[in-house]
Chains A and B, each alone.
Chain A
Amino acid sequence: NAGVTQTPKFQVLKTGQSMTLQCAQDMNHEYMSWYRQDPGMGLRLIHYSVGAGITDQGEVPNGYNVSRSTTEDFPLRLLSAAPSQTSVYFCASSYLAGVEKLFFGSGTQLSVL
Chain B
Amino acid sequence: SQQGEEDPQALSIQEGENATMNCSYKTSINNLQWYRQNSGRGLVHLILIRSNEREKHSGRLRVTLDTSKKSSSLLITASRAADTASYFCALGGTSYGKLTFGQGTILTVHP
Contacts and interface: CB of A to CB of B under 8 A. Distances in A.
Interface string B28-66: 001101010000111111001000000000000000000
Interface of B: 1, 3, 30-31, 33, 35, 40-45, 48, 88, 90, 92-93, 96-104
B48 A41 contact: no
Contact of B43 (A44, A99, A100, A102): A102
Given A42-B88, A59-B1, A97-B96, A104 B43 contact: yes
B59 to A, nearest CB: 16
Nearest to A3: B42
A101 B48 contact: yes
The 4 closest A-B pairs by CB, nearest first: A104-B42, A42-B103, A43-B101, A99-B99
Nearest to A58: B98
B101 A42 contact: yes
Contacts of B102: 42
